[in-house]
Amino acid sequence: MIPFDEAIGLINDQATTLGEEVVPFERAAGRVLTRALDARRDAPFSAVAAMDGYAVIDSATRPGEALRVIGQSAAGTGFTDALKPGDAVRIFTGAPMPQGSDRCIMQEYAERNGDLVVFKEDYGPGWHVRPPGSDFRKGDRLVSPGTRLGARAMVAAAAADLATVSVSVQPRVAIIGTGDELMVPGTAYTRADAIAESVTYGVAAMAAASGAEVIERALASDDLPALEDLAGTMLSCADVVIVTGGASVGERDFAKPMFAPHGLELVFAKAAIKPGKPVWLGRAKGKWVLGLPGNPTSAMVTARLFLMPLLARLQGQPIADVNCWRKMVLAEELPTTGGRETFIRASWGKDGLVPVTNQDSGAQRALMHADWLIRRLPNAPACRAGEHVSALAF
């Protein structure tokens, strides 16, 4: 067994990006940027109104004095003539300020009568104008390489005004769930000794949320020759093959043996963690192979700790972007730990992190309430409520 940090270090050192590709901007959401996006021009390009109202020349405007409304400026359709003292232009939020105007008076302070407008007393200190370049200037860095284009990043990326962007190639992921007892949900109730398979669905969702393309997901019985064939098929089409179950050393634990004919070389064989000690990582035919325990909680915890960092590195992201540990307050006491680093499943309550009641490695319902993993070092003393602990979003 190797320590958790050492295992993460091996992933960091050995996993490299799968390359880059250029995609249309509308297909960039969720992808990791490989080349910086810089602004093509100032934003806003010219001064624009920040409110609906009237564009005026401030020095020529007085409360109670009528101004002549000579036109209208809307976003995308500006007013092209210049204002003179005594003029006003009806203007809408985001519309370009007409030449010569320097203030937008909100419509709430205006009394309109035909082509004339009069402004009330105390129409406010705000000028409600966004100056040119007040958001960003031409050439400013809007999005840096290594950024995953999530919802907020897509807004900034679109502002760069590019039709295509360069992104990391998506890792193709295949998932194999092993075990004679496993059956597809909706059918397991027909057999007394069957279990509705759940782990591969959770792992597939986590992989997809991490930017991977899940291309195959299969269930397989504990038949070594058939598993060897299936392993070869998955290695031929995927960049990462994930196998769940069969990770121990029993006579019917075939997770590693099924990849042996394909040249499996282990990066690490076990990790000194709880839950999830049997987790392992290797390479076969130039592809990554990750073995997860069969117990649902153990599988999901180890997928969070190791699969997400692996997928991040394959897309050119730093591991710290996904394994971002935070200091958080503990709401309830935690007991001492044993000789392995322990990851306690917890939820966030009004007083801090609350460990979920069921910490069993096979628990499934408790996963619904486990939003955080509390990291506890080996042989750590008891931790009292109110103390701070290191935690990772789960």
Render pLDDT for 97-140 as a digit per residue (tens, 0 to 9): 999 999 999 999 999 999 999 999 989 889 999 999 999 999 99
Same domain, 212 and 310: yes
Same domain, 241 and 312: yes
Same domain, 175 and 316: yes
Same domain, 97 and 210: no
Assess if residue 25 is contained within a domain: no
Residue among 314, 307, 298 nearest 32 (CA): 314
Low-confidence ranges of the chain (pLDDT < 70): 248-251
Assess if residue 23 is contained within a domain: no
Residue among 367, 315, 360 nearest 202 (CA): 367
Same domain, 368 and 244: no
Number of domains in the chain: 4
Same domain, 59 and 37: no
Assess if residue 21 is contained within a domain: no
Quote the pLDDT of residue 250. Answer: 65
Pairing of strands 172-178, 213-220: parallel
8 A C-beta contact, residue 142 and residue 39: yes
**Tokens read off for 322:** 């996904």
Quote the pLDDT of residue 247. Answer: 72
Assess if residue 233 is contained within a domain: yes
Assess if residue 35 is contained within a domain: yes
Q: Domain range for residue 265?
A: 4-16+169-321
pLDDT of 329-350, one tens digit each? 999 999 999 999 999 999 999 9
Same domain, 158 and 188: no
Tell me how far apart the alpha carbons of residues 135 and 61 are, in angstroms, rounded to a whole number: 28
Quote the pLDDT of residue 124. Answer: 80
Query: Has this prediction a pTM greater than 0.85?
Result: yes
Same domain, 173 and 305: yes
Quote the pLDDT of residue 246. Answer: 80
Same domain, 175 and 301: yes
Same domain, 210 and 117: no
8 A C-beta contact, residue 337 and residue 375: no
Ranges of beta strands (E only) in 25-159 are 37-38, 48-49, 53-56, 67-73, 87-91, 103-106, 110-113, 116-119, 129-130, 141-143
